[in-house]
Amino acid sequence: MRARTCEICGKRMARYVCQECGREVCQFCLEQNTWVCLDCYRRLEPETPRLEVFPWSTPFKLFLLSFLLILLGTIFITIASVLPGTISIGVVVFLGPIPIIVGAGPHLVWMILLAFALTILGIVVFVTSRKRAE
């Protein structure tokens, strides 16, 4: 039995068979992940989908967004506490599905209404995203 040479480069011994065209190829002329020769891989490459630049899952993206919003709110509260004048604050805490809304300051009513509106908006976005995922 004679040793067969690679049908692409013609330099090395062929140890693999391309799954697309059936040519015998060496290890350097074979794309290891797909088991096709380099010629077939170049031809098939445009069909493969491109990956995102940051392949993070949606829950992680939402976590990152919420963390940045909390950080931004903390920075605003810190800056407001240093500035002279009155301060109003509103907080929404979720205990399971029940929101607890607390506020303090002269603009208490507006802060509670804003917190309540944002709570309703968050629940609507959550419900619609869950329905779309199913």
Same domain, 41 and 67: no
In the chain, the largest separation of any two C-alpha atoms, in whole Å, equals 93
Same domain, 80 and 90: no
Same domain, 94 and 134: yes
Same domain, 62 and 103: no
Task: Say if CB 121 and CB 94 are below 8 A apart.
Answer: no
Same domain, 66 and 92: no
Tens of each residue's pLDDT in the chain, 134 residues: 567 889 888 889 989 999 989 999 999 999 888 889 988 888 886 655 555 566 778 888 888 999 999 899 888 878 877 777 766 777 777 776 677 777 777 777 887 787 778 888 888 888 888 877 66
Total structural domains within the chain = 3
Same domain, 40 and 59: no
Same domain, 11 and 39: yes
Residue 63 is part of which domain span? 51-84
Same domain, 44 and 58: no
Same domain, 38 and 3: yes
pTM listed for this prediction? 0.35
β 98-104/89-95 pair status: antiparallel
Alpha helices in the chain, H assignment, sequence order: 38-44, 58-82, 108-133
Mean pLDDT of the chain: 80
